[in-house]
Structure 1
Amino acid sequence: MFLSTLEIQSIIEQKMLPAVCTCSMEADQSLTIRVCDCVTGKVDLVATHVPLWTLDSPHAIASLVADMRHEIEAHKGIQPTLFS
């Protein structure tokens, strides 16, 4: 299954709701994903160098989102998490 970059970004951003999530494409065809608390605006997680080519199925995207949510929960109240 092949998803476009915009579809992948949209799915990730929607799955991270209610947090504010933004995805940006880097020159090396990887994603940088930034997740902020919807109330405080505090940065909860920044995932860099996420290889776009590995996000080739809904399951792969769901696994990434689950991993990011786990990292956010594990580090609540601590400095923003860098996840790569």
Structure 2
Amino acid sequence: MNLSPLEIQSIIERSFLPSVCTCSMAPDQSLTIRVCDCMTGQVDLIATHVPLWKLDTVHGIATLVAEMRQQIESHKGAQPPIYH
């Protein structure tokens, strides 16, 4: 499957609704993904240096989202974790 970087970003951002999720692309073709609580604006998680090539399949994206959701749930109320 050949998803464009914009499609990958859109899928990830929608996967965290109703939370606010933003993805930004680094020059090295990695993503920084930031997930914030939609009501408080508190940062729930920041994932850095996520290789774009690992997200070129639905399975790759689903795995990343599941891991990030698990990290968010395990750290509720604490400082936002940084996921690598």
**TM-score bucket (shorter structure):** over 0.9
Distance between the aligned counterparts of 1:54 and 1:65, measured in 2? 12
Within a 5 Å distance, the mapping from 1:3-82 to structure 2 comes to: 3-82=3-82
What do residues 9-52 of structure 1 show as CA deviations (whole Å, max 9, x unaligned)?
00000001111000000011000000000110000000000000
TM-score, normalised by the number of residues in structure 1: 0.98
Compute the RMSD of aligned alpha carbons: 0.4
Which letter does structure 1 place at the counterpart of 2:51? P
CA apart distance, 1:83: 0.3
Distance between the aligned counterparts of 1:4 and 1:56, measured in 2? 8
Extract unaligned runs of 5+ from structure 2: none
Show structure 1 runs of 4+ deviating over 3 A: none
CA apart distance, 1:56: 1.2
Q: Secondary structure at the residue paired with 1:73?
A: helix
Distance between the aligned counterparts of 2:39 and 2:11, measured in 1? 21
Tell me how many residue pairs correspond in the alignment. 84
Q: Percent identity?
A: 70
